[in-house]
Structure 1
Amino acid sequence: MYLLFPGRHHLLTNFQFQYLQLIIHEGIAPLGLDGQPLRDLGEVQALIFAVTSANHSNTRRNPLPFYLRAIALEAFGAALGIPTYIYGVDDVGALPNFADYTLKRIRHESEGRFDLSPANSAVVCSTQVLEGYRDLGFPILPAELADAATGRTHAEMPWDLVERIAACPDWRRDPGLPQQVHPASWRVWWNYGLGDKVQLLFRDAMIGSDGDLTATRDYNVYVRQMDEIAEMKYRDTAPFIQPGRIGDIGCAVGSWIRQACADDRFRESDFYGIEVSRPLYEICLQRKSNGEFANPFVFFAQRNAVTGLSFEAGSMNTIHTSSLTHEIESYGSRADLLQFIRNRHAELAPGGVWINRDPVGPDDKERTVWLWLDDSDGDRDDATPVAGDRREQKAVLDRLSTRARFFRFAAGFRRDKGYSLAYKEVTLAGRHYLELSLRDAAEYLLHKDYTDNWDSELHETYCFWSFSEWKAALEEAGFRIHPDSKAYTNDWIRAQRWEGKAALYAREGDDLQPLDFPVTTMLLIGVKS
């Protein structure tokens, strides 16, 4: 008989060891889920660990990479004195028949050696995952679980101990932990400082439990957009890059690094891509595996650059960020953004540069303006209910006129952050306008065409700081502003998205005077003296 032990296995406990030892070596038949004795399971031939979410790491839900989990599991099995086999099972989302998928994955990875079934195996499991195996007819060894109906347990669950470490001021000196954590896990956690890493991940309020800023982004669209504009972004930033150690924070899918690697000026430079989003980080690794970077000295890491330094202090010659800093303000806080700025200054060597390209707000952004929006380029009536499906929502938004889409934007823009977009509808000489702040007008103009990822876009603010405010924030952190830094209006956006669809005015008495379109983009270069 085989024992199948599925789970994420970030931490192993002494209770688990003693429980398995009684089954394997003492021949004690445990009780099943209903408290009744199981059938005679016979001699245990091997212990098989199915390590779920094996392809995930560096997130609150999955802090440890597969290889560190496997090291602990191998030592755990050796201490039991029984043949032990470890198979990684990738995360496949919410799959109703995940148990069946896991069994097939083990059969495939073992090349048919382990074809596990209720006739030759029992499953050790104390979480809701056991329901899938019970439905397949497997006998269940409930381990910590004392009462399936109430969830009462005989001992602390492994994840309870992970959360205890995350909240412990000095986890290495907690006298109770070594008594509960099995030595195989304790050695790995101690040697690799995993408690410190877990505490950092659990403190990170910006990132979700699976390592992403938002669950509403279509990454197929996002990746395509990043690649399409990579050459233009690189062309804008290339004159300011200092050779040596070059970092791209928020590197997305590595598009900017790929452009820089092809630049002969940096053939002897090292490139470091930092990406917090797990899906994008995995694409970076795949692209490196595909050989898409001309320079072999390209290294990627998944981490959050807000909570700490991404690079050693004083080590970097160039740091590049693009379309990132507004996300820190949007998904984190102003304090997070200010800390991010200070972190970049700390990481640069003297003479090093931070190149930051991002949307920017207009000067005098709180002034009142009148905004005309075209109501003839789509449906004028926005009576369609809000769609739940992303594709359906895009279809509805794309049918609306520029003016009608504004009202949907105003109703949802940063509403979950408590923001209220104030406006008044005004008619002058038979023409309809919206009276609102220049900042809110600019926010809509910059957001209105991103219907692919509308829910994510409604969460993000672009215009919270003007260019002068950005410069002041960097100077406060110790940067000198490079004289070629600038804020400008993207000509393509002006021509393709605004002209003929929108117009801005200032009211002077009874007259309206036309205003220029707001700036869209800043290229801000901070130099460490």
Structure 2
Amino acid sequence: MYLLIPGRHQLLTQFQFRYIQGLIQNGLENEKDVFGKPIGSRQKIEAVLFAVTSANHSNTRRNPLPFYLRAITIEAFGNELDVPTYMYGIDDVGYVPNFAAYTLKRIQHDSEGQFQCTPANTVVICSTPVLNMYHHLGFTILPAELQDIATWKHHTAMPWDVVEQIAKSNQWQTDPFVQQHMHASAFTVWKKYRRGEKVQMLFRDAMISSDGDLTETRDYNVYVRQMDDIAEMKYHDTAQYIQPGRIGDIGCAVGSWIKLACKDERLRESDFYGIEVSRYLYVLCQQRKENGEFVNPFVFFSQKNAVTGLVFEPNSMNTIHTSSLTHEIESYGSRTDLLQFIQNRYAELAPGGVWINRDVVGPENKDQTVYLWLNDTDGSNNDPYKLIEDKTAFSHYLAELSTYARFLRLARDFRHKEGYVLNYTTATINNKNYVITSLRNAMEFLSRKDYTDNWQSEMHETFCFWDYSEWKSHLQQAGFTIHPSSKAFTNDWIVNNRWKGKTELFTLNNKELEPLDYPVTTMFLIGVKA
């Protein structure tokens, strides 16, 4: 008879050890299942199997420990038991109703047929709703910490309760609750590898979701394709300013910029460090490295958040590159987070080092009132507020709206959850309709009106909170000198392909409309550490 224990196993408890050891020594004959039914089995327990779920996830609030640290803990834990212990990593495959069946098949495959778990030879230990999946497959479920399945009340602390206590404890290693419940095998690993401090940092991070992403609404297939499509242009813009040595790309997405930099003969002796907060993108970076896509072997990727602290050693980096990142910090975090991010980059650079930041930028005079003409004949004006759940259908619907109707939709959706109100009025002048609003609001619309594939994600993001002068000022306040090649500019491709014929800007002077040039869209800002 086998004992199967599915779970993420970020931490093991003293109760778990006593419970499992008691089953091994005393058998199952006098035990009751989660429904109070006597088990009555006299079969001897021959092995304990740990199914470690989310084995491919780490460095997030939900999964702070990588699989190898969980495996070290389980191995030490199992060495104290009276029967052999085995562990098998089960990758996260998203929500599937038959995940239990998938787990059993993975164990059978990874054990090369040694363990074919069935209700006849295996009892499952589980005290969370996951047990229902195994119960539906006919397995007997032992309750462990579970006291009442009707209320999901537990009679002792669960492993995650201990993790949460560590996250909020000032001195977790001496915390009485932690000492009472945490098994020595877990304590040793958490202390040696400084997991307590890591967990506290992850739990403090309000920007990132529990699974390690900035946003849960972004379509990463679309996002990655967009990043790859413009990677060569971005590298061409930045190449001449890169200082050889230690080169970091923060928000590296799928490593496209680093991949191009590795081919640069001038940088052949450099080390490259890609930092990506999104678990999904970080995994793709690692896959690309395993595929041999980087010609320089000295490429290292880490999943970290560069807002909450330094991601490189102080005074260690010759070049730091960021692209289309800093506006996301303002969008998903706060102004304080953005200012801290700027200060962190200054601290990480060696003297003479450069931070190359390419991002969107707000227009000068962004509070000025403008008259915005929007084409209302280039698409449908029918029901711009329609609700559509399917992402593909929603994207097609948005693409078919006229420029004017799409503005109406954005005015309602834009940063609504963040409490932003996009104020505007309308007027008819010389038989043409205009939207009257601030230049900032006009540019927030123009800058993402064509992002129909990723609309829900883009509606959380603000591009125009600082103009170029404000950006320079904040970098200078952090200690940077601004490189003379820095600039803000209007992307001609955007003007010619997305704006002309669809929108025009005007100001009102003496009751007459005067054309306004299209404002800047992009900045190329290079901060130098003296």
Normalising TM by the smaller chain, what interval?
Answer: over 0.9
Equivalent-residue separation in structure 2 for 1:172 and 1:523 (angstroms): 46
Give 1:206 deviation, angstroms.
0.2
Partner secondary structure for residue 517 of structure 1: coil
Partner Cα separation in structure 2 for residue 173 and residue 274 of structure 1: 33
Shift of 1:390: 1.1
Match of 1:7 in 2: 7
Give the stretch that moved more between structures: 381-390 or 126-135. 381-390
Q: For residue 255 of structure 2, what is the aligned residue in structure 1? A: 254
What SS does the corresponding residue of 1:415 show, helix, strand or coil?
coil
1:292 aligns with 2:293: yes
2:199 alignment partner in structure 1: 198
Partners of 2:423 and 2:31 lie apart in 1 by: 65
User: 1:358 matched to which residue of 2?
Assistant: 359
Q: What are the equivalent positions in structure 2 for 1:318-329 lying under 5 Å apart?
A: 318-329=319-330
Quote how far apart the aligned CAs of 1:178 are: 2.5
Mapped to 1, the partners of 2:236 and 2:384 lie a distance apart of 44
Distance 2:348 2:198 in 1: 20
Q: C-alpha distance in 1, partners of 2:383/2:513? A: 28
**1:153, distance to aligned residue in structure 2 (A):** 1.2
1:409 aligns with: 410
Residue of structure 2 in register with 1:313 after alignment: 314
Contact 1:384 1:396 in 2 (8 A): no
Q: Write out per-residue CA displacement over residues 388-425 of structure 1, whole angstroms, 9 at most, x where no aligned residue.
A: 12111101100001111000000010011110001111
Answer whether contact 2:2 2:121 (CA < 8 A) is retained.
yes
Q: Which runs of 5+ in 2 are unaligned?
A: none
> 2:106 maps to what in 1?
105
* Mapped partners of 2:243, 2:31: distance in 1: 65
Look up the SS of the partner of 2:162 in the other structure: helix
Find the residue that maps to 2:216 and give its secondary structure: coil
Cα offset, 1:136, TM superposition? 0.8
Structure 1 position 447, deviation (Å) = 0.8
Residue 39 of structure 1: CA displacement? 2.7
SS in 1 for 2:68: helix
Residue 26 (structure 1) shift: 2.4
Deviations along 1:461-520, one digit per CA (max 9) or x if unpaired, are 000000000000000000000011000001111110011111000111121110110101
CA RMSD between the two structures:
0.9
Output one character per residue of 1:143-201: Cα deviation in whole Å (capped at 9) or x when no partner.
Answer: 00011111121210000000000010111121342231111111101111100000000
Task: State the Cα deviation string for residues 371-390 of structure 1 (Å, max 9, x = none).
Answer: 01111111122356221121
Superposition pairs of residues 60-71 of structure 1, within 5 angstroms? 60-71=61-72
Residue in structure 1 matched with residue 141 of structure 2 by the alignment: 140
Deviation at 1:41, TM superposition (A): 4.8
Distance 1:500 1:479 in 2: 41
Question: SS at the partner of 2:377?
Answer: coil
C-alpha contact (below 8 Å) 2:5/2:49 kept by paired residues: yes
Other structure's SS at 2:410 match: helix
On the 8 A contact 2:385/2:409 being kept in 1, the answer is no
Letter in 2 for 1:3: L
- Per the alignment, residue 73 of structure 2 pairs with 72
Structure-1 residue corresponding to 2:179: 178
- The 5 A counterparts of 1:3-82 are 3-27=3-27, 29-82=30-83
* Partner Cα separation in structure 2 for residue 396 and residue 73 of structure 1: 51
Give the count of matched residue pairs: 529
Instruction: Report matched runs for 1:260-275 at 5 Å.
Output: 260-275=261-276
**Which AA in structure 1 matches 2:288?**
R
Q: For 2:12, what is the secondary structure of its paired residue?
A: coil
Q: Show the counterpart of 2:478.
A: 477
> Cα–Cα, structure 1 residues 56 and 223, in superposed 2: closer, same or farther, change >3 Å?
same
- Counterpart-to-counterpart distance in 1, 2:53 and 2:82: 24
Match of 1:422 in 2: 423
Letter of the 2:9 counterpart: H
Q: Provide the C-alpha distance between the structure 1 equivalents of 2:72 and 2:20, rounded to a whole number of angstroms.
A: 19
Partner of 1:128: 129
The SS at the match of 1:408 is helix
Q: Which amino acid aligns with 2:491?
A: N
Structure 1 runs of 4+ aligned residues shifted over 3 Å read: none
Aligned amino acid, residue 264 of structure 1: E
Question: Cα deviation per residue 1:255-282 (whole Å; 9 max; x = unaligned)?
Answer: 1101111100000000000000000000
1:219 and 2:226 equivalent? no
Contact persistence 2:384–2:409 (CA under 8 A)? no
| Structure 2 counterpart of 1:368 | 369
Q: 25-34 vs 59-68, which deviates more? A: 25-34
> Residues of 2 paired with 1:150 and 1:380: CA distance?
51
- The answer to whether the Cα contact below 8 Å between 1:51 and 1:86 also exists between their aligned partners in 2 is yes
Cα distance per residue 1:12-50 (max 9 Å; x no partner): 001000001111012253221122321315100110000
Q: 1:57 deviation in Å?
A: 0.2
Give the letter aligned to residue 277 of structure 1.
Answer: S
Post-superposition shift, 1:449? 0.5
Number of the residue aligned with 2:239: 238
Asked if the contact 1:250/1:274 (under 8 Å) is kept, the reply is: yes
Structure 2 counterpart SS, 1:452: helix
Q: Following TM superposition, by how much is the alpha carbon of 1:92 offset from its aligned partner in structure 2, in angstroms?
A: 1.1
Equivalents in 2 of 1:248, 1:494: separation in Å? 29
Amino acid at match of 2:11: L
- Per-residue deviation at 1:334? 0.1
Distance 1:280 1:194 in 2: 23
Is residue 382–residue 400 contact of structure 1 (8 Å, CA) maintained in 2? no
Q: CA distance change for structure 1 residues 214 and 461 in 2, over 3 Å: closer, same or farther?
A: same
Letter of the 2:14 counterpart = N
CA distance in 1 between partners of 2:114 and 2:303 (Å)? 35
Q: For the residues of structure 2 that align with 1:410 and 1:177, how far apart are their CA atoms? A: 50
C-alpha separation in 2, matches of 1:344 and 1:494 = 32
Aligned to 1:210: 211
> Which shifted more, 173-182 or 469-478?
173-182
**SS of aligned partner of 1:25:** helix
How far did residue 54 of structure 1 move?
A: 0.3
Q: In the TM superposition, what whole-angstrom CA distance separates every residue of 1:48-99 from its partner, at most 9, and x where no partner exists? A: 0000000000000000000000000011111013111110001111111111
In structure 1, the partner of 2:117 is 116
Task: Indicate if the aligned counterparts of 1:60 and 1:209 stay in contact, CA closer than 8 A.
Answer: yes
Opposite residue 425 of structure 2, the aligned amino acid is: K
Q: Which amino acid is the alignment partner of residue 507 of structure 1?
A: L
Structure 2: which amino acid aligns with 1:487?
A: A
What is the aligned partner in structure 1 of residue 381 from structure 2?
380
Structure 1's 62 and 352: CA in aligned 2 closer, same or farther, altered over 3 A? same
Letter in 2 for 1:436: T
The residue aligned with 2:347 is 346
Aligned identity (percent) is: 64
CA distance in 2, matches of 1:12, 1:228: 45
In structure 2, what is the Cα distance between the partners aligned to 1:396 and 1:248? 36
